[in-house]
Amino acid sequence: MPISDRLSELGRLVEHGGRLAQEMRREGIERELKEDGSIVTRADRAVEEYLREHLPALSPGSTIWGEEYGFTDEGAGGLWVVDPIDGTSNFGFGSPLWGVSAALVQGEEITLGAVYLPDLNELYISEKGGGVYRNGKALPNIKPGPIQPEELLSYSDGLIRKVGDFPLPGKMRLAGAFVIDGTFTACQRYRGLIGHKERLYDIGACVLFGQELGADIRYADGSPFLLGPLKEPQRLTKPWLIFPKDSGFYIPAATE
């Protein structure tokens, strides 16, 4: 399936947003603290403002839920979920592990998604039913099977505290930006990821990537990962995963 004009334009928009953030960082930015203690910069706001201006044209009647300017109910053309700079702490302190993410949610489906990692110069784009492309090249499906002890798996120290002594597979990695963990899983630098307490705008594009590449996307206890309940401003309430099919891995609900 060829890359549609609409998907190509979405990729161009998130790439422009990433370049804008890079330029602002070169000029100098100050780190601010939000009420929840997380870092924000004027670049976060500028990128979201840019995307809010241009994304609705790709799906008339759509609305936007972005990290910096708040929640909106889904419109007739769908709901754009936007993280203008995912990994703001990394961005603010000069780490290359950050990116710009946007996805279109329509009902119970994610239909478009794009992530741009500016300092790594990697653009990931996907449309439902059309696969996933990195810098214009289609990615292969994720190979099924268990995660081996030497393979890299993304999860947080918060998850470790939550599950206690329950064994987790692979070697732990965490980038500090979901777009890194999600795209690295898509291209199999990481074999999989276990998420914990994200919001839909953090994960939307990378969930689509996993779906298109044949991954197993569910809550870690085996219950289904439904989009409807996530189109609200709260965080995910329990661990979930993007794993290879047939991994055989579950975290019992009592452990969570």
In angstroms and rounded to an integer, the radius of gyration of the C-alpha atoms of the chain is 17
Asked if 174 contacts 196 with a C-beta cutoff of 8 angstroms, the reply is no
Q: Which CATH number fits domain 152-243: 3.40.190.80, 3.40.50.2300, 3.60.10.10, 3.50.50.60?
A: 3.40.190.80
User: For position 256, what pLDDT does the model report?
Assistant: 65
CATH 3.30.540.10 domain position(s) in the chain: 5-138
pLDDT digits (tens, 9 = 90+) for 21-34: 999 999 988 888 88
pLDDT digits (tens, 9 = 90+) for 222-252: 999 999 999 988 899 899 999 999 999 999 8
CATH 3.40.190.80 domain position(s) in the chain: 152-243
Domain 5-138: CATH superfamily, name plus number: Fructose-1,6-Bisphosphatase, subunit A, domain 1 (3.30.540.10)
Q: What is the mean pLDDT of residues 183-187?
A: 98
User: For position 254, what pLDDT does the model report?
Assistant: 59
Q: What is the mean pLDDT of residues 91-109?
A: 96
